[in-house]
Chains A and B, each alone.
Chain A
Amino acid sequence: MGENETILEVRDVSVRYGAIRAISNVSFSVKRGEILTLIGSNGAGKTTTLRAISGMVRCTGNVRFMDQEIAGTRPDVLVTRGLCHCPEGRGIFANMSVEENLNLGAFIRSDKHEIEKDKQRVFELFPRIKERLKQNAGTLSGGEQQMLAIGRALLARPKLLLLDEPSLGLAPQLVQTIFKIIREINAQGVSILLVEQNAHMALQVAHHAVVLEVGKVAMTGLASDLAKSDEVRKAYLGHG
């Protein structure tokens, strides 16, 4: 398999909620080993796009993951194929302990030994999680919850990780940490599709970027190019 092989290809995907079309004809592709970020303002359809890919909402169009058509496949099946979605708002099971949350991440796996090893790796990435293993996940702070969510997703050994707003509601230093970790994870060979509001950070870590505006792709390109683009700044800050 070549270095630049496409791991995920989204072509002409549209999603409708009742009479409202949330995204229309969105197309982009994620290459193996890269971080692609999907940015855009609130309501632009970023989350919907992720949900369409992971089979949580019905969509029209084609989604190919590792050369297989996956549009309409149930999310739990996709997890077994290596596509993990870390949802917006973290999706922590607040009624369970941190450890149980982690174990659920490895739900599809039965290789106890390997899981244990992977857990150690997660603890290396997030030492704070290890300290709170027995604690109820609901009592963690926002940043810790986000770490737990990412760590949990890693335990499924994903080939492609969908991250939805990992910086949401986090203090700036924490945001830095999270992005550092995202980069580390990527360095370990996991492709990442990152949805972010924090455009600046996202464009710093990503290789490629897609800008969504009201449900449509407004721009695509190298993250570094887009970072310099005034369009993006304008979209976010309203600078003239």
Chain B
Amino acid sequence: MAELLQIMVAVVAVGSLYALIALGYTMVYGILKFINFAHSDVFVLGAWVSLVLSVMIISALKLAPGSSPPLWIAPLVLIAAMVVCGLVGFAIERLAYKPLRKAPRLNVLITAIGVSLLLQNVGQLTGFAVAKDDDGKTIATVPFGPSPKRMPSLLPETAAPDPNLAKPLVLIQPVDVFIFVSAIVLMVGLQYLVFRTKFGAAMRAVSFNTETAALMGIRVDRVISVTFVTGAMLAAAAGFMYALKYPGLNQTAHETWVLLGLKAFVAAVVGGIGNVRGAVLGGFLIAFIEFMGMYCFSKYLDPVLHTNMGTNLRDVYVFAMLIFVLLVRPAGILGSQLKEKV
């Protein structure tokens, strides 16, 4: 029971991350009808920017050794990372996607792959030092370089449980709470933006029919840009939280980043691509399937099969569910299927 609860904690935290990334996929798809394969790289960028910013701030503060950094850094870094990634998202949209607005969607897809490759490999270069420690050693660079780095812990950590005391039923770290709460705040914020504001109405109008939206006086290009930027910002937020939860960051071209992004994308599809609520639902569902799959397979099947692959198949659970959902409900759980006019 305790084990299950522990896994549910992970599901909630990881699900929040998936959901945040999935939102970006879904929003861009809703409006431009193309899969933005570069989205996961913006997420990676978010994680790394958060790392660099935190390191810079902390080294600028010259904290006494051993003291934990002040709490205000976390929200500051979060916002700054969102701004940086928002700007990058804007630039990507303008330079790489906008010239292709009228081109076949496949081209845009290839361009997205190109952008993704570009971001990965630029991030891997060892760039200029932006922070040094007391000995004059470089501790952060932009771009980020190939060696893994550690994200400073910006939140208080609970001490490891005392082995002499009775083991608590379930361990919840402050970071998990923080992730869940801020993800919820962001999602509610997005929900408000999309469904309660004039601009959100414009976004939905554009996603429903670009042409008619223009006839309402909506500047379609601007709406697309803003959507893109919003998606990038949510990805950045996810990146920040990821870095907090898993402080050892691998370099930007690591394939697990892409895979993580891909799973978030699966979440968007499972929920019904183009549907904001679907993306959130999909995110949590994917995390649930992934973790429960791992847990159940290794607990119940591996001993029977004399194998050891329960945890290795985590991607299989996710993709198998994707295929299952699409075959049963081809437009995703909350998606709606449109009939082609003859």
Which A positions have Cβ atoms within 8 angstroms of B? Answer: 54, 56, 74-76, 79-80, 84-87, 91, 93-96, 100, 103-105, 107-108, 152, 156
Which B positions have Cβ atoms within 8 angstroms of A? Answer: 198, 201-202, 204-205, 208-209, 211-220
Q: Check B211 against A105 for contact (C-beta < 8 Å).
A: no
User: Which B residues are CB-close (under 8 A) to A108?
Assistant: 216-217
Q: Check B209 against A74 for contact (C-beta < 8 Å).
A: no
| Cβ of A118 to closest chain B Cβ, rounded Å | 14
Q: Check B216 against A87 for contact (C-beta < 8 Å).
A: no
Residue of B nearest to A152 (CB): B216
| Cβ of B236 to closest chain A Cβ, rounded Å | 28
Q: Check A93 against B215 for contact (C-beta < 8 Å).
A: no
6 A-B residue pairs with CB within 8 Å: A56-B211, A56-B214, A76-B219, A79-B216, A86-B215, A87-B211
Q: Cα distance A199–B208 when bound, in Å? A: 32
Q: Check A76 against B217 for contact (C-beta < 8 Å).
A: yes
User: Which B residues are CB-close (under 8 A) to A93?
Assistant: 204-205, 208-209, 212
Q: Cα distance A223–B31 when bound, in Å? A: 43
Q: Which of A76, A94, A96 contacts B220 (CB 8 A)?
A: A76
User: Which B residues are CB-close (under 8 A) to A79?
Assistant: 215-217
User: Which A residues are CB-close (under 8 A) to B215?
Assistant: 54, 56, 75-76, 79, 84-87, 91
Q: Check A87 against B201 for contact (C-beta < 8 Å).
A: no
User: Which B residues are CB-close (under 8 A) to A156?
Assistant: 216-217
Q: Cα distance A75–B219 when bound, in Å? A: 9
Residue of A nearest to B222 (CB): A76
Q: Check B208 against A100 for contact (C-beta < 8 Å).
A: no
User: Which B residues are CB-close (under 8 A) to A103?
Assistant: 198, 201
Q: Check A91 against B204 for contact (C-beta < 8 Å).
A: no
Q: 8 smallest A-B Cβ distances: which pairs?
A: A79-B217, A91-B212, A108-B217, A75-B214, A104-B216, A93-B208, A76-B214, A107-B216
Q: Check B212 against A87 for contact (C-beta < 8 Å).
A: yes
User: Which B residues are CB-close (under 8 A) to A96?
Assistant: 201, 204-205, 208
Q: Cα distance A79–B205 when bound, in Å? A: 16
Q: Cα distance A214–B202 when bound, in Å? A: 37
| Cβ of A192 to closest chain B Cβ, rounded Å | 16
Residue of B nearest to A109 (CB): B217
Interface hub of B204, B211, B215, B217 (most chain A Cβ within 10 A): B215
User: Which A residues are CB-close (under 8 A) to B202?
Assistant: 104, 107
User: Which A residues are CB-close (under 8 A) to B212?
Assistant: 87, 91, 93
User: Which B residues are CB-close (under 8 A) to A91?
Assistant: 209, 211-212, 215
Q: Which of B205, B211, B219, B220 contacts A104 (CB 8 A)?
A: B205
Residue of B nearest to A74 (CB): B214
User: Which A residues are CB-close (under 8 A) to B217?
Assistant: 76, 79-80, 107-108, 156
Interface hub of A56, A79, A87, A104 (most chain B Cβ within 10 A): A104
| Cβ of A121 to closest chain B Cβ, rounded Å | 18
Q: Cα distance A100–B197 when bound, in Å? A: 10
User: Which B residues are CB-close (under 8 A) to A80?
Assistant: 217
Q: Cα distance A108–B218 when bound, in Å? A: 7
Q: Cα distance A108–B202 when bound, in Å? A: 11
Q: Cα distance A91–B211 when bound, in Å? A: 9
Q: Cα distance A85–B211 when bound, in Å? A: 11
Residue of A nearest to B336 (CB): A95
Given contacts A76-B219, A104-B218, 6 further A-B contacts (CB under 8 A): A56-B215, A84-B215, A86-B215, A91-B211, A95-B208, A103-B198
Interface hub of A95, A103, A156 (most chain B Cβ within 10 A): A95
| Cβ of B210 to closest chain A Cβ, rounded Å | 10
Q: Cα distance A156–B213 when bound, in Å? A: 13
